[in-house]
Structure 1
Amino acid sequence: MVFSSLLFVFLFLALNLIVYFFVSEKKRNYVLLIFSLIFYAWGGPKFLILLVGETAASWFFALQIEREKSTAKRRLYMAGECVVLLGLLGFFKYTVFFLENLQTITGFPKEIPQIVLPIGISFYTFQLLSYVIDVYRGEVSAQPKFWKLLLYSSLFHQCIAGPIVRYETVANEIDERKISSGDVFVGVRRFCVGLAKKSILANSCASAADTLLPAGVEALGAQSTLGLWLGMLFYMLQIYLDFSAYSDMAIGMGRMVGFHYLENFNYPYIAKSAQDFWRRWHISLSSFFRDYVYIPLGGSRCETWKIVRNMAVVWFLTGMWHGASWNYILWGVYYLAFLLLERFVIKDRIPKGLNHVYALLVIFFGWVIFKFENMKELGLVLLGLFGIGSSGFTGLEAGTVFMNNLFFLIIAVIAVTPLGKKLRRILFELGKTSKPIFWFFNITEMLTPVLLLLLSVLALIGDSYNPFLYFQF
């Protein structure tokens, strides 16, 4: 079950909210826990045991760390947490990748086992790991009740697609949270924005990208240079709209029931450098690696070679976290190279205006590396973008897709910028002194969630009802 499905929106989420607000405040956490476990089990009941088991291990280790006075024993329990959680993550996520490469080099083993990756394991592993580390550091108190820690690790708002919510962010709200009508409205509006991003914009971008970037070396080789550029542009828009949409929906659902999750994206495509991009992209992941890997290794307060080492470790792990494939490792190394260049060579030397163009090009080619797990396809596309090995500069398919999606492309580009947010803020400020604008702003605010929900439903029902089809050329 995914957030952007009619089943989730009109059955699961609706039923969850009805029951949640119907019961007394003391029972609301139980309602959230039950619904969260059902939601997770929907994608594979057997993996629910893994989620509960990892939570139980983290609950045990955190309690022992808090109770123990001996530094050596505290470190032993902390090491136990790392071995259990990272060991399980490594087994499920990287065993096949390791064995495939070993087989390529040595011919052993003859058969590679099929290991299914549990849904959301990267997210809840990092959340539980951050919780135990924070207890070890004395930054939060250990949760004495197992079921409350399970609620934290399994909350369906963010369990399978992020953001990575730290325990300290929601520790107080698990036991004490107040919900106003304003919170509910803001939550509903944010959820509807995310749902529209995913169902209308991201899905349409994905369709165009898949058309222009078909799987297979032969199919990609038959594409024109312009078709490859246009396809990657659609993919670049899709991946932001997709990821940020799930964060929007998670933040919105949390707000509806009194949880205040931190922002996870801050318009990364307006970045002026690779470093600025990573301050804006997947903020919860970047801050995790910063606080639990980079700074403990020494951060930037050490010798130059150690700074390079620390950054190399972080970006190797960042690449590996995204997937068990060489292209993700290459993607991490790619950003490491540009971040080192910006830190030690480029610095602030790129003129204003050009720095944004530079950042977009770095991001664009980064997504090329990220998209293609097959190295032959990756090499073909990278060369094809410069007119090498493609079927010419332009072609009928690229022109048709461009013309059919021109209006939609403009909307998608605007959606990844803060233009709408700025316009909303301007109207709000003008509304303080102008009664007509005041009423226009408030009516628009009330109608926006309804309109976005309606358009999202039409898009989810099927392409024949996609509202953007009426604006194609």
Structure 2
Amino acid sequence: MVFSSLLFMYAFLPLTMICYWLMPSLRAKNIVLLLASLIFYAWGGPRYLILLLLMTLISWLGARIIGAVESHPKLRTLTLWVTTLLQLGLLGYFKYAGFLTTISHQLTGWPHQILSVALPIGISFYTFQLITYTVDVYRHDAPAQHSYWMVLLYAALFFQCIAGPIVRYQDVANEIMHRPTRWNEISRGISRFAVGLFKKAVLANSVASLADQLLPMKASALQHLPASALALGLLMYMVQIYLDFSAYSDMAIGMGWMVGFHFKENFNYPYISQSITEFWRRWHISLSSFFRDYVYIPLGGNRKGALRQIFNMFVVWAATGFWHGAHWNYILWGLYFFVFLVLEKWVLKGFFNHFPRIFKHLYLLVVVYFGWLLFRFTDFYTLAVAAKGLFTLNGNAWTDVHTQMVLMNNLYIMLVAILACLPWWKNGYRAWMNWANRVPVVATVANLIDVIAPIVLVAIATLMLVGNSYNPFLYFQF
């Protein structure tokens, strides 16, 4: 079940919210959320619910022990290491066993049969959340939770369990046990959910279809396409991956507001950045900050000299790439950004100060654009065919009639999708509301629009989803 499905929109979410709001106490509300979350997770793979329960139990027990042995620092540290390694071991088995046994087989001939393990939905996200829980307790950033069920609610909460954002325990520890219901936040949450739903169902799905058409995943199809098709397809993929994941985060944050949780922003218009460093402060913020605070800084950060800092950055970006998938291209993608981050910090920093903003912005877009090419293709031969085709090295012309027709027929939706990646609409809305609030009559109209707009967005999204089986969520695979 995905957020942008009719079943979720018109059955699961309304029933859950109605039951939640009718409950007389926070304890009862938490029970509703927990039961709904377990049903939601089990919908996509009931057998892996046991894994989620087990991994939560490991972190809950580990945190209880860490909290109970304050006077024994070595035992606290040992418990943290054991708990973290168990979590990473389970993640490694389910996500990377096939990849690692393939490498071993290629190098040594062993094992004779490569492991094939199905990837549990959301394991990359809830594993990192459970790690932050035990680390936050270890660092005294949050108290150990006595109730296993509340830790399970934190890990399994259906708003963000299967595709993020990665919510740190310290950020929601108080809200799990103490949060009021505010009707103005429910309204804001519904509006934020509607915006995310529209971005996903209308914009992301539309450009995803174009990306698959113009930049197919098979080398045999890529070889016959002109460079303009591949270039336009890669641009649509660049737009898709932002709209897809930021839309999911919008919906997760909106649903959090509906029940009193306040998740941090996960995207801040990364395509307006002027450097790769700034881009990664704006893109998938919860993942970037996780690696910074739980890997980079514990390794020494920038406190132990330039060479050690470069090594620490290398570890972080190799891990960032590997987190996205058990294929070499993801590792290469992570190291690709590592190279540019190192260049920006030690080579390009002086030059950047003298560049006009437009050139820095164009530099960012070009680097990210070709980075998404590495991200899209897990097979290196197919990647090479696509890269050659972009520069007309496959023997095809720059463009053809079919590509021109696709561009003309979809120009409007392409432009709207690209503009949705920019903060113009958000800034325009704020300016409109600031002006409207000064004029009573206009303020009344503005408030009416605020009520009607989410209904219109949901209605349009519904029309797009009815009878449309093409509704992927990219980050489910991670």
> TM-score normalized by structure 1?
0.96
Residue 257 of structure 2 is aligned to residue 255 of structure 1: yes
**Deviation, structure 1 residue 55:** 0.5
Residue 13 of structure 2 is aligned to residue 13 of structure 1: yes
1:256-335 alignment to 2 at 5 Å? 256-335=258-337
**Deviation, structure 1 residue 304:** 0.7
In 1, the alpha carbon distance for the partners of 2:350 and 2:254 equals 37
User: Is 218-227 or 429-438 further displaced after alignment?
Assistant: 429-438
Q: Deviations over 1:319-363 (max 9, x none)?
A: 000000000000011000000000001115231210000000011
**Does structure 2 conserve the Cα–Cα contact (< 8 Å) formed by 1:210 and 1:231?**
yes
SS in 2 for 1:275: helix
**Deviation, structure 1 residue 390:** 4.8
Letter in 1 for 2:2: V
Report which structure shows greater RCO (CA 8 Å, sep ≥6). 2
Matching residue of 2:476:
none
Matching residue of 1:434:
439
Matching residue of 1:37:
38
The alpha-carbon distance between structure 1 residues 59 and 378, as it changes in their structure 2 partners (threshold 3 A), is: same
In 2, the alpha carbon distance for the partners of 1:67 and 1:204 equals 53
The alpha-carbon distance between structure 1 residues 119 and 430, as it changes in their structure 2 partners (threshold 3 A), is: same
The alpha-carbon distance between structure 1 residues 390 and 460, as it changes in their structure 2 partners (threshold 3 A), is: farther
Letter in 1 for 2:8: F
Which of 105, 108, 124 aligns to 1:106? It is 108
> TM-score normalized by structure 2?
0.95
**Deviation, structure 1 residue 244:** 0.4
Residue 207 of structure 2 is aligned to residue 205 of structure 1: yes
User: Is 411-420 or 454-463 further displaced after alignment?
Assistant: 454-463
Which of 392, 396, 399 aligns to 1:391? It is 396
Letter in 2 for 1:4: S
**Does structure 2 conserve the Cα–Cα contact (< 8 Å) formed by 1:225 and 1:390?**
no
Matching residue of 1:48:
49
Which of 419, 428, 432 aligns to 1:414? It is 419
The alpha-carbon distance between structure 1 residues 463 and 36, as it changes in their structure 2 partners (threshold 3 A), is: closer
User: Is 346-355 or 231-240 further displaced after alignment?
Assistant: 346-355
In 1, the alpha carbon distance for the partners of 2:15 and 2:113 equals 46
1:370-385 alignment to 2 at 5 Å? 370-385=375-390
Unaligned runs of 5+ in 2: 472-478
In 2, the alpha carbon distance for the partners of 1:273 and 1:134 equals 31
1:120-269 alignment to 2 at 5 Å? 120-269=122-271
Q: Deviations over 1:147-170 (max 9, x none)?
A: 111110000000001000011111
Where has structure 1 moved over 4 Å in runs of 4 or more?
none
In 1, the alpha carbon distance for the partners of 2:283 and 2:217 equals 27
Residue 362 of structure 2 is aligned to residue 357 of structure 1: yes
Q: Deviations over 1:152-205 (max 9, x none)?
A: 000000000100001111111111111211111100000011111111111111
**Deviation, structure 1 residue 463:** 5.5
In 1, the alpha carbon distance for the partners of 2:393 and 2:340 equals 24
Letter in 1 for 2:53: V
Which of 418, 443, 460 aligns to 2:448? It is 443
SS in 2 for 1:393: coil
In 1, the alpha carbon distance for the partners of 2:381 and 2:248 equals 31
**Deviation, structure 1 residue 442:** 1.5
**Does structure 2 conserve the Cα–Cα contact (< 8 Å) formed by 1:427 and 1:437?**
no
**Does structure 2 conserve the Cα–Cα contact (< 8 Å) formed by 1:193 and 1:452?**
yes
In 1, the alpha carbon distance for the partners of 2:188 and 2:395 equals 48
In 2, the alpha carbon distance for the partners of 1:241 and 1:168 equals 28
1:19-98 alignment to 2 at 5 Å? 19-25=19-25, 26-68=27-69, 69-98=71-100
**Deviation, structure 1 residue 302:** 2.1
SS in 1 for 2:111: coil
**Does structure 1 conserve the Cα–Cα contact (< 8 Å) formed by 2:266 and 2:286?**
yes
**Does structure 2 conserve the Cα–Cα contact (< 8 Å) formed by 1:92 and 1:115?**
yes
Aligned residues: 465
Q: Deviations over 1:116-140 (max 9, x none)?
A: 0111001000000011011111111
**Deviation, structure 1 residue 295:** 0.7
Q: For the aligned residues, what is the CA RMSD?
A: 1.3
In 2, the alpha carbon distance for the partners of 1:364 and 1:440 equals 41
**Does structure 2 conserve the Cα–Cα contact (< 8 Å) formed by 1:268 and 1:280?**
yes
The alpha-carbon distance between structure 1 residues 348 and 200, as it changes in their structure 2 partners (threshold 3 A), is: farther
| Same amino acid, percent of matched pairs | 50
Q: Deviations over 1:235-282 (max 9, x none)?
A: 000000000011001001111011111100000110111111100000
Letter in 2 for 1:423: G
